[in-house]
Structure 1
Amino acid sequence: MKLVSWNVNGLRACVNKGFNDYFAETGADVFCVQETKLQEGQISLDHGEAYGAYWNYAVKKGYSGTAVFTRIKPLSVRYGIEEDHEPEGRILTLEFDAFYLVTVYTPNAKRDLSRLDYRLEWEDRFRGYLQELDAVKPVIVCGDLNVAHQEIDIKNAKSNRGNSGFTDEERDKMTRLLGAGFIDTFRHLYPDRTDVFSWWSNMPGVRDRNVGWRIDYFLASARLAPWLVDARIDCHVMGSDHCPVSVEFADLTAPPPAQV
């Protein structure tokens, strides 16, 4: 089973930059998108009858938003954590037979950290929500988590410490989330791999020089680790200031594959 996640930074713009070609190339069972930046009826995508589409739009036009395209029909779909209090379209939860899938666009603390307090409170609620789901069945979480967790996940750790996305507080929240029973699938498989990032500033030459941050993730309940096959970061894929990330699992409805 292959799952893909991509912060497209505006789906309509990304479609004009190769989104559909990449979508077809992946052959994903589930494809998650963050920062769609559109409202219902503003785009028409034809991925065939094989895929069902689920959208969580932000109330504010041209802002935030998430979507999931899936070959596997979900048992249920949930929009946000508390629908009446989350107008930014940041979370979609799909329930499948063997697991929950949560795609998320985590709030940015802003350059001046004016939204840091909100971000930290949001992190606590989100972690609690994932733990509630995990008590029922395993969880796979993907999306733009807006934090480079470790120094290995950012090109210039020393000069960026304390900046939005690399504050001690945000990194601690990520540590607490992983400590609540989840794994970072990429680091689980590749703990020492360096210079692999998923976001780059739009400043000239930054992406060419690979001065990036790894802020897009696939996390999973730790008990799913025996089924984990691979995790990838497709740094070569353009179309957004983020690149897609993906993960592959063996059949989660079957016993774990034998370990070699």
Structure 2
Amino acid sequence: RVGISEQGRGISTELDPNDSEGRVLHTKHGELHCINIYLPNGGANPGRQMYKDQWLEDLLNWSMQFVDLDEPVLICGDLNIAHTENDIWNPTGNKNTSGFLLHERQWFTRYLSTGWHDLLRNEVGDVKGPYSWWSNRGQARALNRGWRIDYVLANDAAKILFKSARVLREGGLVVSDHAPLIVDLDI
């Protein structure tokens, strides 16, 4: 809790008023808001996909209070969506897989259109990858057959502080199927 001046949990929606799955942590560090999110994975269960879809709409509505703040705001974490074909190794084979469903990707485009900036994509441009998650099966990480589902999104006030972003592909190798996404800010 060093450097944390405020903290809160959840997004207080009708869907999940008490954030029972611990999906949102909002901390404030001086003027900087860090909103850490772990969005649900839809998986193969239709009920779980409906839960995820409702979360997406609730998140969009809830986060609108932050997008136009004069204070810098970062939304970061595992959003469980590969936004574009550049964010997934095999887009054709995964077009019917939760995390790359057309309506999820359309939601992500709509979300960014409200004023959020994808800092890693701004850094690397319109190229394939880099990926932040790999299945533990089939040597996916070794062959770099991954998905980019981890993001740092910034409002305008945070974007002007942005210096660089990168994925540490070998980071977290022993403990996670995700790689750390590092963003440097001029604060």
TM-score by length of 1: 0.66
2:73 touches 2:157 (CA, 8 Å); kept in 1?
Answer: no
Q: 1:163 to 1:100 in 2, by over 3 A?
A: same
Q: Which amino acid aligns with 1:80?
A: G
1:91 touches 1:104 (CA, 8 Å); kept in 2?
Answer: yes
Q: Distance in 1 between matches of 2:82 and 2:105?
A: 7
Residue 161 of structure 1, CA deviation: 0.7
Q: Distance in 1 between matches of 2:157 and 2:33?
A: 13
181, 204, 218: which one pairs with 2:152? 218
Q: Distance in 2 between matches of 1:102 and 1:128?
A: 14
What SS is found at the alignment partner of 1:224? helix
Q: 1:91 maps to which residue?
A: 24
Q: Distance in 2 between matches of 1:234 and 1:101?
A: 20
Q: 2:135 maps to which residue?
A: 201
Q: Kindly provide the CA deviation profile for residues 42-77 of structure 1, in whole angstroms up to 9, marking residues without a partner as x.
A: xxxxxxxxxx2xxxxxxxxxxxxxxxxxx4232x21
Aligned residues: 181
Aligned pair 1:72/2:12, yes or no? no
Q: Which amino acid aligns with 2:25?
A: L
Residue 249 of structure 1, CA deviation: 0.7
1:217 touches 1:245 (CA, 8 Å); kept in 2?
Answer: yes
Residue 207 of structure 1, CA deviation: 1.3
Q: How much is the aligned-residue C-alpha RMSD, in angstroms?
A: 1.6
Residue 96 of structure 1, CA deviation: 3.1
Residue 199 of structure 1, CA deviation: 0.6
Q: 2:181 maps to which residue?
A: 245
Aligned pair 1:233/2:159, yes or no? no
Q: Distance in 2 between matches of 1:134 and 1:194?
A: 28
Q: 2:49 maps to which residue?
A: 116
Q: Distance in 2 between matches of 1:183 and 1:168?
A: 20
Q: 1:135 to 1:226 in 2, by over 3 A?
A: closer
Q: Which amino acid aligns with 1:236?
A: E
Q: 1:213 to 1:113 in 2, by over 3 A?
A: farther
2:133 touches 2:179 (CA, 8 Å); kept in 1?
Answer: yes
Q: 1:143 maps to which residue?
A: 77
**Unmatched segments (≥5 aa) in structure 2:** none
Q: 2:59 maps to which residue?
A: 126
2:68 touches 2:155 (CA, 8 Å); kept in 1?
Answer: no
Q: Distance in 1 between matches of 2:46 and 2:99?
A: 9
**Unmatched segments (≥5 aa) in structure 1:** 1-51, 53-70, 252-260
Give the share of equivalent positions with the same residue, in percent: 33
What SS is found at the alignment partner of 1:149? coil
Q: Which amino acid aligns with 1:92?
A: L
Q: Distance in 1 between matches of 2:162 and 2:68?
A: 20
Greater C-alpha Rg: 1
What SS is found at the alignment partner of 1:200? coil
